Structure 1
Amino acid sequence: MTDTFAALSDPTRRLLLDRLSEQGGLTLSALAEGLPMTRQAVAKHLAVLEAAELVASERDGRCKRHYLNPVPLAKMARRWLGRFEEVPLAAMAGFRNPDASDGGGRTAVRAGSAHS
């Protein structure tokens, strides 16, 4: 999963994934179209995405077509985000809005805790 987070940390790679999400089966040339970088730079980003198994590729004659592989993203969402979907609201009742002006700049404070 570390590879997934590392691959997603770059905005260019996220853009490539967005493009593949909208339309799969794109070639390197199609993916590089309109980007302020060389095709070689895009190929390097694709290699990182492939290593993280976020992109699957297949040969189509002389072309290589790239597709989004949503499985690692689904696993990550289930593991890291899914646990927060069903958090009881009562469990968060002791927290207040981080914008609340207490002068201390605290982001979350438990109700009933002592402050000096």
Structure 2
Amino acid sequence: MARAATTSDVFNAIAEPQRRDVLALLKAGEWPATGLAERLGMSPSQASKHLRVLREVGLVRVREVGKQRLYELDARGLRPVHEWAGGFAQFWNESFDRLDTYVQELKEQQ
């Protein structure tokens, strides 16, 4: 089965660890591509490729200031990921509740 293009949706785009690293840096504010590349230890062309993918799926916005392009996080694009992951919240809450009950039962037995 062929793998979907990284620009087809946000899940494919964030499957790449370096793109997640880019997003983590952008949480703090705007960065130029060269600064991101330097900070993450990648070449400028690698950073540009990652930023292009993130831009195409709606996770990053870019604005030009003179000759420089500044990139910033657009967290609205993470909504599908948040909604999908949120579907597991009930599962984890119930699992932790069962664990708490079990621990209390062990304490009472001692």
Calculate the TM-score normalised by the size of structure 2: 0.70
Query: Counterpart of 1:33?
Result: 38
Query: Counterpart of 1:20?
Result: 26
Q: Greater helix percent: which structure?
A: 2
Deviation sequence 1:52-111 (CA, Å, 0-9, x none)? 111110111111100001012133212x12223235739x97xxxxxxxxxxxxxxxxxx
Query: Counterpart of 1:81?
Result: 85
Residue number among 63, 66, 70 corresponding to 1:61 in the alignment: 66
In the aligned structure 2, how far is the partner of 1:12 from the partner of 1:63? 22
Q: What's the CA shift for 1:2?
A: 4.8
Extract unaligned runs of 5+ from structure 1.
94-116
Calculate the TM-score normalised by the size of structure 1: 0.67
- Runs (4 or more) in structure 1 with deviation over 6 Å come to none
In the aligned structure 1, how far is the partner of 2:14 from the partner of 2:22? 10
How many residue pairs were aligned?
90
In the aligned structure 2, how far is the partner of 1:6 from the partner of 1:75? 12
In the aligned structure 2, how far is the partner of 1:44 from the partner of 1:28? 10
In the aligned structure 2, how far is the partner of 1:25 from the partner of 1:2? 25
Q: What's the CA shift for 1:44?
A: 0.6
Extract unaligned runs of 5+ from structure 2.
1-6, 99-110
- Percent identity at matched positions? 30
Quick one: which amino acid aligns to residue 4 of structure 1? V
| Bigger relative CO (Cα 8 Å, ≥ 6 apart) | 2
Aligned-CA RMSD value? 2.4
